[in-house]
Amino acid sequence: MVLTHEPALFYALAALLGACFGSFSNVLIHRLPRNLSIVRPRSACPACARPVEWHENIPVLSWLALRGRCRGCAAPIALRYLLVELGGVACALVGVWSFGFGFAGLSASLLLLLLLDIALIDWEHMIIPHTLTIAGAVIGLGGSFLDGRDPASAFLGAAVGAGGVLAVSWGYRLVRGVVGMGGGDVMLMGMVGSFLGPWGVLGTLFGGALAGTAYALLAGRGRVVGGAKLPFGTFLAAAAAVVLLFGPRLAAWYLGLAA
């Protein structure tokens, strides 16, 4: 992680780009799990079907200007739309702040954004769309040739991520499924590996299992409910973001404990 101190204009541009990606994320989060096209039709108010004009579709600002209500019928526009747009801004700023204004910062920002979308979709629908994970893996593998990572580690990470989760899911099934993992998780970890390499896969699985188990215990009031479905992808996505931003420091701390 390289902290960068570039002119404010650079951050403003990154924030703007992040807001646009966040706005597109709202489309992805709504339409992908419902198997709807992400290009057509144009966005419309779900209450009155009034199409959203271009000037009502400006990330963050439009929601605030409209005070979260449709201009046609005054039906409320979910706060989540604003929050996801702000989430896009946060992903872009954290990415470039941590990895600089170059391909490395771009890769980090895109990974954070993909993880945000996947976390929200899996939480709500218990689905991880292959469209996102495959596109993500292509970006992760292709980006490794541009952003200073080792391409061999990216390809190995993708293989270890997808293959590892397949093995783990068979293992869990043997111990009567505390945390079930499906094809979506396999593809998600392939994508994570393409960005974070084989060690990142290990850290993400460890962190995701820890967070998922803690959540299952809390939600089940102290006992893990067998067969209860858990949006495991959400926990994996959160863990992958932590590994991206703090991986080396956490590994050093953990190894220090063991020594």
Residues that bind Zn ion (CB under 5 A): 45, 47-48, 50, 70, 72-73, 75
Q: Which alpha helices (H) appear in 50-102, and where do they start and end? A: 61-65, 79-99
Comparing CB distances to Zn ion, the nearer of 70 and 120 is: 70
> Amino acid identity of 216?
A
CB of 162 to Zn ion, least distance (A): 43
What is the closest distance, in whole angstroms, from the C-beta atom of residue 85 to Zn ion in the complex?
19
Residue 109 CB contacts under 8 Å (≥ 6 apart), including other chains: 14, 18, 91, 92, 94, 95, 96
Q: Select 36 or 44, whichever has its Cβ closest to Zn ion.
A: 44
CB of 81 to Zn ion, least distance (A): 14
CB of 80 to Zn ion, least distance (A): 17
Give the number of other CB atoms < 10 A from CB of residue 156: 16
DSSP code, position 53: P
What whole-number distance in Å separates Cα of residue 115 and Cα of residue 104? 16
CA distances from 134 to 126, 186, 190, 197, 227 (A): 18, 11, 9, 16, 28
Minimum separation from the CB atom of position 78 to Zn ion (A): 13
**Nearer to Zn ion by C-beta: 45 or 160?**
45
Nearest residue (CB) to Zn ion, 15 versus 70: 70
DSSP bridge pairs for 51: 44
Q: Which CB sits closer to Zn ion, 73 or 217?
A: 73
Instruction: For the CB of residue 28, give the shortest distance to Zn ion in the complex, in Å.
Output: 22
CA distance linking residue 248 with residue 242, whole number of Å: 10
User: For residues 55 and 223, which CB has a smaller minimum distance to Zn ion in the complex?
Assistant: 55
Report yes or no: 175 and 226 within 8 Å, Cβ to Cβ: no
- Residue closer to Zn ion by CB (options 12, 75) is 75
Q: How far is the CB of 237 from Zn ion (least distance, A)?
A: 32
Structure token digits, residue 76: 């409320």
Report the alpha-carbon distance of residue 115 to residue 244 in Å, rounded: 11
